[in-house]
A and B are shown apart, each in its own frame.
Chain A
Amino acid sequence: ILNVEQSPQSLHVQEGDSTNFTCSFPSSNFYALHWYRWETAKSPEALFVMTLNGDEKKKGRISATLNTKEGYSYLYIKGSQPEDSATYLCAFANSGNTPLVFGKGTRLSVIA
């Protein structure tokens, strides 16, 4: 059974702070790593899909890095804003034919 761990489970930061979370996954048989943002009362929304070791992706103030050899990905948010408050999910695939395995998420609260 594949295990995807996310830490921390929850996080409270002040507006303007920068923050980061971790997603750990099996380092063998890597295929893809996804990050999703899930705001309350909305649908999870894709942030990044990463497939190559060393990949770095950026969307506005949010960026992500990937290390497939050691089995982790970091998500960074620079200058957090209240609208960044959400649960951030990562999901791992070890092949193109198997389903995504999700972590339990990191719940971020940004206090104005």
Chain B
Amino acid sequence: KAGVTQTPRYLIKTRGQQVTLSCSPISGHRSVSWYQQTPGQGLQFLFEYFSETQRNKGNFPGRFSGRQFSNSRSEMNVSTLELGDSALYLCASSFIGVAGSSEAFFGQGTRLTVV
């Protein structure tokens, strides 16, 4: 079956702009989680959506937001970009939620560079 698809793969934006990243989960998976990875840091949890509802939120400023559609596809938006937002953004899908005994399936990520 098709894996988790993230688009775009690479993105360059200017400080102050906003950006939208997309994640299409594996068919049948209702949970989508987003993570940020910066050099020297582990995967930092941004938020999780389950059946179109935000179920968990990490410790990120309000500039980071997301949503999930009825087909489980999810988008993440970052407004007023800062240089420190440059990172690899990964999404992961699972059937019931990545926190439990259900393994997470990751996309290849979107590499965002803010200049």
Q: A10 within 8 Å of B by Cβ?
A: no
Give chain B residues whose Cβ lies under 8 Å from the Cβ of A96: 97, 99-100
Nearest Cβ in chain A — how far from B52, in angstroms?
A: 17
B108 and A43: CB pair below 8 A?
A: yes
Q: B21 within 8 Å of A by Cβ?
A: no
Q: B40 within 8 Å of A by Cβ?
A: yes
- Interface of A, helix, strand, loop or mixed by DSSP: loop
Contacts A43-B106, A45-B106, A97-B55: A32 and B43 contacting too (C-beta < 8 A)?
Answer: no
B56 and A98: CB pair below 8 A?
A: yes
Nearest Cβ in chain A — how far from B68, in angstroms?
A: 15
B101 and A51: CB pair below 8 A?
A: yes
B45 and A31: CB pair below 8 A?
A: no
B104 and A31: CB pair below 8 A?
A: no
A105 and B42: CB pair below 8 A?
A: yes
Of A36, A42, A99, A104, the contact of B99 (CB 8 Å cutoff): A99
Give chain A residues whose Cβ lies under 8 Å from the Cβ of B43: 89, 91, 102
For the complex, what is the distance from the CA of A89 to the CA of B104, rounded to whole Å? 12
Q: B66 within 8 Å of A by Cβ?
A: no
For the complex, what is the distance from the CA of A100 to the CA of B58, rounded to whole Å? 11
For the complex, what is the distance from the CA of A105 to the CA of B56, rounded to whole Å? 23
Q: A71 within 8 Å of B by Cβ?
A: no
For the complex, what is the distance from the CA of A89 to the CA of B97, rounded to whole Å? 18
Q: A11 within 8 Å of B by Cβ?
A: no
Give chain B residues whose Cβ lies under 8 Å from the Cβ of A26: none
Subset of 16 A-B contacts with CB under 8 Å? A4-B42, A43-B106, A43-B109, A45-B106, A46-B103, A46-B105, A49-B101, A49-B103, A95-B99, A97-B56, A97-B99, A99-B98, A100-B99, A100-B104, A104-B42, A105-B42
- Which residues of B approach A to under 8 Å, CB–CB? 3-4, 33, 35, 40-45, 48, 55-56, 58, 90, 92, 97-109
